[in-house]
Amino acid sequence: MKFSLHNIITLVLLIINSYTVYATDNIQLITTTTTFVAGEDVTLKFKIENNTSPSLYISNSFGSTLIKAHKTDNILSYNIPLHLSSRVGTINWVLLAKPNSLQGSLKITPQNTVNTIQNYLGPPSITAGGNDYSMLVAIPIDNYDNPLAKGTKVAVKHQFHSSRTIDTIFIKNNISYKNIYSTKQTGRILLNSSCLEFNSKEYDINVMPAPPTNFNIGYSRHHNYADGNQITTFTTSIIKDKYGNIVSDGTYVDFFIKNGTKTVLKTSGTTIKGLATAKMIHPDHADTWEIQAFIDGMAESNSIKIDYKTVISDFNIEFSNDNRNITVGPLKSFMDQMIPDGLQVTLYIYSGENLVHTKHKSSSDGYVTFTLNVNQFPKGTYNITIKVAGNSKSVNTVKL
């Protein structure tokens, strides 16, 4: 059989006192007060008619102890230690007399003064719109760390922009609390609590934008040629939530680009003051792009189309070194200027109708030169096709 610590202590005390028999008929409780304020002197007094001094066993939720009597004439006094009498709750006492012990209880109530207010606030950020909220839990405590009595008034003051509100709440089950609902505007709610003329420190709640709504996109570029060099910049309109608040900086926006071959390209950007921008290099051949932007799972933009013109309509091909060196160029752009370095040129080599090799090279100073190694391409007749910026040129029956 298992015994609790409380039962064991009681049993030991009873055994200790079992050697002395005190007649309870000759002991009378003369203390009539049963309710005390935490921190007050708590003394139980008994009147006796004989020379007895039994011990007093006391216990509460914080512990238990045995108290010896202080005897004056025929009065026994038992002073309750402060570490027990300063804690709110019930103190049970047993006067260890024989054959029947005396017993009773005392009630300790909190002081009616506030030493501090323990505040707990969360979450620190809520979403605009009036549905989301943060909870403030306020626990005023006295000088002995006891929550104040049930029904004690607590004032919760909160201010948003120029609007100030004071709500009155009451302590119940040792705490008081207030739900602070969001506003439709973003900003910071300042708040504090007060009780019995004691004020807590300031706290704040950030009201963040609600999820974004659909938006528009546009683009800008220096020219509309597919030179594979310049940049097209995509820009959103100012992205807002349904209450007109600009979305938070850093909101991620994805731009999806579908080209003429249905291949999907992607670029992205983050918002600053509600605007997001992203960039994409021009294609290297005439193409039409269809672009739409998304904020994942929340909002999307309109769809726009952009056309790119071919930048090279014709180009020269020259053969040298027994046709083993093939030079493509000059490659000129839309103002007859040399195409910027890096334009890809592709060489396809066929034997009859069979493609035997493909070579890729990037332009430099407006030219590209391919060299056909004799070990890789033995003597014979080949058909050659060169593709530049979406344009192709073929030369048949090239003898190597």
Of 208, 241, 270, the position where a domain reaches its end is: 208
Whether residue 14 is contained in a domain is answered as no
Of 109, 141, 168, the position where a domain reaches its end is: 109
Domain ranges, residue 149:
116-208
* Cα-Cα end-to-end distance for the chain: 105
- Residues 142-171 as b or e (16 or more Cβ within 10 Å = b): bebebbbeeebebbbbbbbeeeeeeeebeb
Other beta carbons within 10 angstroms of residue 304's beta carbon come to 15
Residues 260 and 186 in one domain: no
Residues whose CB is less than 8 angstroms from the CB of residue 339 and which lie 6 or more positions away in sequence, other chains included = 227, 229, 311, 312, 331, 332, 333, 363, 366
Model confidence, pTM: 0.73
Whether residue 366 is contained in a domain is answered as yes
Whether residue 57 is contained in a domain is answered as yes
Per-residue pLDDT at 391: 84
The single-letter code of the amino acid at 244 is G
What CATH number corresponds to the domain at position 302? 2.60.40.10
The single-letter code of the amino acid at 256 is F
Per-residue pLDDT at 14: 46
Residues 101 and 126 in one domain: no
Determine the 3-state secondary structure of 60 from DSSP: strand
Q: How many CA atoms lie within 13 A of 277 on its CB side?
A: 9
Quote the number of domains for the chain. 4
Per-residue pLDDT at 375: 86
Residues whose CB is less than 8 angstroms from the CB of residue 197 and which lie 6 or more positions away in sequence, other chains included = 114
pLDDT tens sequence for the chain (400 residues): 444 545 555 544 444 444 333 444 578 899 999 999 999 999 999 998 888 889 999 999 888 999 999 998 889 999 999 999 999 999 999 998 877 788 999 999 999 999 999 999 999 999 999 999 999 999 999 999 999 999 999 999 999 998 999 999 999 999 999 999 999 999 999 999 999 999 999 999 999 999 999 999 999 999 999 888 889 999 999 999 999 999 999 999 999 999 999 999 999 999 999 999 999 999 988 899 999 999 999 999 999 999 999 888 788 999 998 889 999 989 888 788 888 888 889 999 998 888 999 999 988 888 999 999 888 888 889 999 999 888 888 888 888 7
Determine the 3-state secondary structure of 145 from DSSP: coil
Per-residue pLDDT at 21: 38
Q: How many CA atoms lie within 13 A of 318 on its CB side?
A: 10
Residues 129 and 85 in one domain: no
Classify strands 35-37 and 102-109 as parallel, antiparallel or unpaired. parallel
Residues 194 and 267 in one domain: no
* Separation CA 224–CA 233 (nearest Å): 12
Residue 123 preceded by cis peptide, ω within 30: yes
Per-residue pLDDT at 109: 95
Largest distance between two CA atoms of the chain? 139
Per-residue pLDDT at 90: 95
Residues whose CB is less than 8 angstroms from the CB of residue 361 and which lie 6 or more positions away in sequence, other chains included = 344, 345, 347, 368, 369, 370
Closest residue by Cα to residue 195 from 257, 264, 111, 125: 111
